[in-house]
Structures are given as structure tokens and as C-alpha cells.
Chains A and B, each alone.
Chain A
Amino acid sequence: MAEALIIRNISKRFGGLRAVQDLDFSVGEGETVALIGPNGAGKTTSFNLITGFHRPDSGSVLAFGRELVGLRPHDVCTHGLARTFQVARPFGRMTVLANVMTGAFLRSRKPEIARERARETIDFVGLSAKEHTAARDLTTIDQRRLEMARALATNPRLLLLDEVMAGLNPAEIDQAVALIGKLSKSGLTIVIVEHVMRAIMAVARHIVVLDHGQKIAEGTPKDVVANQDVIRAYLGTGYAHVATPGDGAC
């Protein structure tokens, strides 16, 4: 399998804090990889390092054979990496359609083409009924859907989802899991940061576990939940006794 994303030894310090230290992992094309770990482990910072919002102090980020370190966020997006934010950041003063069109304009400056592309992705995430609703009036899950649609409208090859399920109820989590499954089936490579273990077990084929900015484990979901270091640092000892994990473990 070709590698979509290769992270090599990236590190980032904020003053005295080592936010990310010598992190490396890779993501195969079409694969869904989850990044998990306790709060402050460096998951979101890793996303920021990959997508150009922060520049790593050292290391390299290769996406589809191209070095991304040093590029600005919009360039990273042009190269086919789209992301969502931990706290959804819709353009409140725009309707759902206008939000998603803004993403679609990256690939075509023509409003008609962008509108068409936007409608497709809005339909894909299941927001068609709210096309003309102002983004600031959406519920949490709809705002997350909107963020995904907006990111998808840029025609990415790799999608980075930062805690898209935070704040959702169990039924909504099921919907989100189904949506990610659908995206993955369409051939998209996905990197997901998530706390909801149930969702991770359902969507990820490979998990990378971070703690204090370092990778402490990596492997299939089954290996990871059985790993003693992971249980101690993140999952909690409750996990040591369950064979198949139940609901969220935070």
C-alpha cells in the first residue's frame, strides 16, 4: 500500500513545554488511522504541525510524496489535506451552502460549479434540508457536519478530523461513525483524533497512542486496548478486564 502521509520525528516545543516529541507514524492510502491519548498529549498539536498552523522545530511531514513543513495552511489544503477543528468553526454570517461553497472555490472559481460541488457534499453529510440556514443557528452535530462538508468540498485526498464526536449524544455518535465509514469507503484517507473509544474501535484500522507528546504505542485496535502502557496512561484500569470495550472511556 502506498503511504499517504509519513510523519518523521516531528517535535514542537512551546517555551519549556515539549508538546510533541519525535513523533513518527505513517498512514497508508485509503486507511483510517486514529490518534488517541489523554488531554494535553499533543494530538491537536500534531494536527496543527501537519496542516501548517504550527511549524515543527524539527522533523518532516510528507504527504503524497511532498514535504509539507514550511507551507502555510492554505497551501497544505491545496495539496489535498483538509482538516476540521476541535471546536467547530463555521462562518456564522454565511448559510450552510455559502460556507461549503467557500471550500469548493478552491478547485473552481466559478460560482455555479462551486455551488454544484457544495450541494453534493452537503447532501453527502446529510444537511440538505438546512442548506439555507445560517451556520450560527445550527446544532452542534450539524455544525460538525457542516465542517466536514466544507472540508470535503476542497476535494481532499486526506481528511484530518479533530474530535468530531465531542459533545454528541450516543445516537449522534452512531450517525457520525456511519458518516466516517461512508467517507472511508469512498477511498478517502482519514486521520481522526477522538476520545470516544467505541467510535474509534468502529472506524480505525490502526491506532497511534500519544502521551506527553510522545508515541507510547501503536497497532491494531485490539493490540492497543490490551497494551498495559496504554491502559495505565489513558484508558484506565477498567479496560484491563473487558474483552470488548463498551462506551467511551475518558
Chain B
Amino acid sequence: MRLRRGTLWLGGLIVIVLALPLIVTSHFAIDIFIRVLLFAFIGVAWNLMGGYAKQLSLGHAAYFGLGAYTSTILLIRFDVSPWIGMLAGGIVATLASLPIGALCFRLRGPYFAISTIATAQVLMLLFLKFRDFAWGAEGTTMPNLGNAPLMMQFDAKSAYYYIALGMLALGLVITYAIERSWMGYYLVAVGEDEDAAEAIGVNAMRIKRQIYMISAFLTGMAGTFYVQYIYFIDPQTAFSFNISVEAALVSIVGGIGTLWGPVVGTVLLEATSALLQSWFGSSHGGVQLTVYSLILITVILWRPSGLLGVFTDAYERVVHAGRAHAREPTLDG
């Protein structure tokens, strides 16, 4: 019964998101939807590692940027389709996560977070210097090939929407599969208490390395998509600290270590940010950021375990008339 209702909800959601670009045709709105899907996807990728295994990375821009640059270099220098570039970008990001992980995983807690910030910054500086093959600080625009689906370029904005939707779906399916397997248990165990996990045979170092690779791969894909979408790349955009922060923030606001947390978080944050922008953006520049920050602080004080709980609690209360409990999500057998 429970399962059937869940399937129904999911089915309804799928129909709505698939139909959305057909109903809402305003370019402005679709642009916001694409941003939401993209950042939800990055959030999902971040959440695998930062949420389940509680390895708070603030350097995911490193993989985003590597994915973006890999596909762009392949496209402009070698005429390789960004579809292949996306895969290559993911692989480059995965490979980069190995030495970065080897260095950063020696540290725990806040020290780990700080070291990850440094890696993204170092990569940004490197790409600022690579003038010969990566265009240095001024960056470059993508060649406009018109409507070329095989080269990931489209006239219709809705095409980008469906690509981002597909990526998010992929991220969610991967998360779902991991959550239900031994890996999910091992990740949460490592996040809770690394030593206790080691004591019962969990190779903490290896599982962290593995999830970091998966997370980096997905984030690299997001980077490729983003630069293809905005037709422009430079180190400041590709390795922007904002991307690292946003990836963490949407998960934390939505519900860390949960399947839907990053999605809920992104929808709420992006919607709030877009609305504030349209209300205050033109009349009182800067006010929208202040209001946004205040909302963020309130939300985190009110629900430190994420807003997803608010919805599931309300759902329980209405549907099952059960007692709601505001608490951290718990992994059951």
C-alpha cells in the first residue's frame, strides 16, 4: 500500500517535470528550471560524499571546472562532441579525485573541508596560467554551431532542460542504488564514527575514495553541461567557489544524507533567490542578498537536519495521522 502510494507520487512528479517546458514557455522561467535541475544534480553528487559519509567537501568546483575544461578543450582543439567530452570530463574529474583524496582524506572534519577549498583554488590558479591551451584568464566562447544535437547545441531551451533532467535522474538512481546496498551502510557508518566502522571491518579509506570518485565523476559531467549551456568558459566561472558552496548548501538546507534532500533544497533556495531578485533586484540592489541570507540562517536554525523533514512530517500527519517527529533521518535495515 505504502509502496503503491510512493510510486503514484513519483509517477505524478515525473509527468509534471516532463510536461513543464511544454506548459511554461517563458525563457526566463525555463532558465530558472535548468539552474534548479543542474544545481540539484550537483547537490546530489555532493550529497553522496558530504551527506552520507559526512565528508564535508567545499571544493567540488575543482571537478566541475575540470569537467568543463575537458569537454571545451576537446571540442575546440579536437572537434570532439561534448557528449563524449562529458564522459571524458567525468573521467578526468574521477582521476583528479584520487591524488586530491589521497591528500585531503588524511585530515578529518573542518581540516578536510579547508583542504578541499584549497584544491579548487589551486586548480583555478593553474588554469589562469594555462594561456596556451586553456585561454588563461579571458576564457573563451563556444563555437556556435546552430542547432547541432550531436554537438550538444540546441535552438530550443527545452532541450537543455531535458538533458539536465536526465542527469538529475541519473544522480538520483545512483544514490538510490547506493543507499540500499552495503555501500550506503558503510558510508553512513564512516560518517558516524570512522573508528567504530574500522573495528567492524569497514575499510574507511577505500570507501571514502570510492564515493569521492563517483561524486567527482557526476560533478565533472555537470561542468560540461554548464559551459555548453552558457557558451562560455573562464577559470573564474568554472572553478567558482560559489559552486562548491551551493553544492553543499542545497544539501544541507534540503536534508543532508537523504535521497531527495538536495532536490528539495535547490528548489527552495533557487525559487527564493529568483523571487527576491525580481522583487528587490531592480529597486534596492543588494537587499535581496541580505534577505536571502536571513532566510538561510532562519531555516538552518529552525531545521538543522534539513527541510525535507518538514514535508515528510506534514505528509505523515495528514496521510497517516501519525505523530510527526522532527529529527535526523535514520537508516533502517
The residues of A with any CB-CB pair to B shorter than 8 Å are 51, 53, 72-74, 77-78, 82-83, 85, 89-95, 97-98, 101-103, 105-106, 109, 111, 114-115, 118, 131-132, 134, 150-151, 153-154
Find out whether the CB atom of B331 lies under 8 angstroms from the CB atom of A95. yes
Whether B192 pairs with A91 at a CB distance below 8 angstroms is: yes
Residue contact A95 to B332, C-beta cutoff 8 Å: yes
Is B200 in contact with A154, judged by CB distance below 8 angstroms? yes
Measured CB to CB, the nearest residue on chain B to A110 is B182
Across the A-B interface, give the 5 residue pairs with the lowest CB-CB distance, nearest first: A97-B333, A106-B201, A73-B198, A77-B201, A89-B196
Is residue B189 contacting chain A, with contact meaning CB distance below 8 A?
A: yes
Q: Please name 16 further chain A to chain B contacts, defined as beta carbons within 8 Å, in addition to the given A72-B203, A91-B189, A91-B192, sorted by A numbering.
A: A53-B195, A53-B199, A73-B195, A74-B202, A77-B201, A82-B199, A83-B199, A94-B331, A95-B333, A97-B332, A102-B185, A102-B189, A102-B200, A109-B182, A111-B182, A151-B200
Contacts A94-B189, A111-B181 given; indicate if A103 touches B333 (C-beta within 8 A): no
Residue of B nearest to A160 (CB): B199
Output the nearest chain B residue to A83 by Cβ-Cβ distance: B199
Of the candidates A93, A97, A103, A109, the one whose C-beta lies within 8 Å of that of B200 is A103
Partner of B188, one of A89, A91, A111, A154: A91
26 A-B residue contacts at CB 8 Å?
A51-B199, A53-B199, A73-B198, A74-B199, A74-B204, A77-B201, A83-B199, A85-B195, A85-B199, A89-B195, A89-B196, A92-B192, A93-B257, A94-B189, A95-B330, A98-B332, A101-B333, A102-B197, A103-B200, A106-B200, A111-B182, A111-B333, A150-B200, A153-B200, A154-B200, A154-B201
* Contact between A105 and B192, CB atoms less than 8 A apart: no
Q: Is the CB of A94 within 8 A of B188?
A: yes
Interface residue total, chain B, C-beta cutoff 8 A: 27
Given A93-B329, A98-B332, A134-B330, decide whether A105 and B185 contact each other with a Cβ distance below 8 A: yes
In the complex, are the beta carbons of B330 and A93 less than 8 A apart? Answer: yes
Known: A83-B199, A150-B200. A102 touches B186 (CB 8 A): yes
B45-76 interface bits toward A, Cβ cutoff 8 Å, 1 = contact, 0 = none: 00000000000000000000000000000000
Residue contact A77 to B195, C-beta cutoff 8 Å = no
Contact A114 B199 (CB under 8 A): no
Cβ–Cβ < 8 Å partners of A154 in chain B: 200-201
Minimum CB distance partner of A118 in chain B: B333
B196 (CB) vs chain A CBs: closest residue = A89
- Residue B193, interface by CB 8 Å: yes
Number of A-B contacts (CB under 8 A): 99
* B198 contact set on A, CB distance < 8 A: 53, 72-74, 77
Contacts of B202 in A (CB 8 A): 74, 102, 106
- Is B332 touching A91 in the complex (CB atoms < 8 A)? no
> Complex: how many Å from CA A105 to CA B201?
9
What per-residue 1/0 map shows which CB atoms of B133-145 lie under 8 Å from chain A?
A: 0000000000000
Residues of the B chain whose Cβ atoms lie less than 8 Å from the Cβ of A92: 192
**Interchain nearest-CB distance for B246 vs A (Å):** 25
Nearest CB of B to A142, in Å: 16
Known contacts A92-B192, A105-B182, A111-B181: A132-B332 contact under CB 8 Å: yes
Q: Could you say which residues of chain B place their CB within 8 Å of the CB of A131?
A: 333
How far does the Cβ of B197 sit from chain A's closest Cβ, in whole Å? Answer: 7
Question: Could you say which of B180, B181, B192 contacts A94, with CB atoms under 8 Å apart?
Answer: B192
CA distance A215 to B314 in the complex (A): 61
- Contact indicator per residue, chain B 200-243, by CB within 8 Å of chain A (1) or not (0): 11111000000000000000000000000000000000000000
Q: Please, which residues of chain B bring their CB within 8 A of the CB of A94?
A: 185, 188-189, 192, 330-332
Partner of A73, one of B186, B199, B257, B328: B199
Inter-chain CA distance A236–B294, complex, in Å, is 62
A74–B205 Cα gap in the complex (Å)? 10
Residues of B within 8 A of A78 (CB): 201
Residue interface mask B237-260, A partner, CB < 8 A = 1: 000000000000000000001000
Q: Which residues of B contact A98 (CB under 8 A)?
A: 185, 188, 330-333
- The interface residues of chain A lying within 8 Å CB-to-CB of B180 are 111
CB distance from B263 to the nearest CB of A (A): 20
Question: From residue B208, how far is it (CB to closest CB) to chain A in Å?
Answer: 12
- Whether B199 pairs with A101 at a CB distance below 8 angstroms is no
A163 to chain B, nearest CB (A): 15
Minimum C-beta distance from B193 to chain A (A): 5
Per the 8 Å Cβ criterion, residues 245-300 of B in contact with A are 257
**Chain A residues closer than 8 Å to B328, beta-carbon distance:** 93
The residue in chain A whose Cβ has the minimal distance to the Cβ of B206 is: A74
The CA of A72 and the CA of B185, in the complex, are separated in Å by 20
Q: Chain B, 316-333, contact with A by CB distance < 8 Å: what is the 0/1 string?
A: 000000000000111111
